[in-house]
Amino acid sequence: MLTEDMGMVAESAPDKVQNWQTNQILPGCRVTAAGSATTKAGDEGEALYARLLKVGWKRKLGPRYATNGSALRFRMDETDCFFSIYTGMMVGTQAEMRVNVAFKSRPGEGRYNVLVQCVPAVEGEL
């Protein structure tokens, strides 16, 4: 979706992710993406979250999952993912550097990034 629908450059890789529910370090994956748009990064985040809901992702419920609108948690099937929309180099990983170098902004558009971290879903919790 990030590359095909939104025209971003993305890189995915296995990762060890701290589970936000249990604080355990779990095997998971990370997707790092760079893109640009004529709207603000926050507006692109809202559009991304609407797309996620449309294709079957479910928003994580409860106050501990309600962060600001730029970072939200979703579930699909057996996977929980944390989606974060931001501008600038904030993560500091080699993947972030590679996607930012590879992505060429379109004229008149501002750059933004997406970081997705996924872990196996915790049974019985949505």
Question: Does any domain span residue 53?
Answer: yes
Strand arrangement of the beta sheet that strand 25-37 belongs to: 9-18, 25-37, 110-120, 79-86, 71-76, 58-59
Question: Does any domain span residue 4?
Answer: no
Structural domain harbouring 43: 9-120
Give CA torsion, residues 86, 93, 95, 14, to 10 deg. Answer: -100
Name the pLDDT band for 66 (thresholds 50, 70, 90): low
Which pLDDT does position 46 carry in this prediction?
A: 87
Q: Are 88 and 23 in contact (CB under 8 A)?
A: no
> Is residue 21 predicted with pLDDT exceeding 80?
no
Which pLDDT does position 40 carry in this prediction?
A: 82
Helix (H) or strand (E) segment spanning residue 41: helix 41-54
In terms of Cα–Cα distance, which of 111, 116, 114, 117 is closest to 33?
Answer: 114
- Higher-confidence position of 124 and 93: 93
Number of H-type helices and E-type strands within the chain: 2, 6
Question: Does any domain span residue 1?
Answer: no
> Is residue 70 predicted with pLDDT exceeding 80?
no
Question: Does any domain span residue 68?
Answer: yes
Give the total number of structural domains in the chain.
1
Its pTM stands at 0.85
Taking only the tens place, the pLDDT of each residue in 46-65 is 889 999 999 999 987 655 55
φ, ψ of residue 103 in degrees (nearest 5): -80, 130
